[in-house]
Amino acid sequence: MGEPRDEFAEAGARARQALVREIEAYGELSDPAWRAAFAEVPRHLFVPWFYVSGTGGYQRLWSGDPDPVRRERWLRGAYADTAVATRVRDGELVSSASQPSLMALMLRALDVRDGDDVLEIGAGTGYHAALLCHRLGEEHVTTVDLEEEIAESARTHLGAAGYRPAVLAADGARGCPQRAPYDRIVATCAVPAVPYPWLAQCRPGALVLAPLSTGLILLRVHDGTHAEGRFLATSAYFVALRGSAAHVAESRRPRHGPAGDERFGFLCGLVATTLNRREALSLWLREGRPERERFGVTVSGDRQWAWLDEPGGPYAWPLPVA
Q: How far is residue 41 CA from its own chain's centroid? A: 18
Residue 174 C-beta-side C-alpha neighbours within 13 Å:
10
Which three-class secondary structure state does DSSP give residue 273?
Answer: coil
- Out of 30, 53, 63, 95, the active site residue is 95
CA distance 296 to 300: 13
DSSP string, 219-250: EEEEETTEEEEEE-SS----PBPPSTTHHHHH
Q: Which of these, 169, 220, 218, lies nearest to 199 by C-alpha position?
A: 220
Q: Where are the alpha helices (DSSP H) in the chain?
A: 9-25, 32-40, 68-78, 100-110, 127-136, 148-160, 196-200, 246-251, 262-271, 277-286
> C-alpha distances in angstroms, 35 versus 21, 29, 84?
10, 5, 21
95 is catalytic: yes
Residue 311 C-beta-side C-alpha neighbours within 13 Å:
13
Active-site amino acid positions: 95
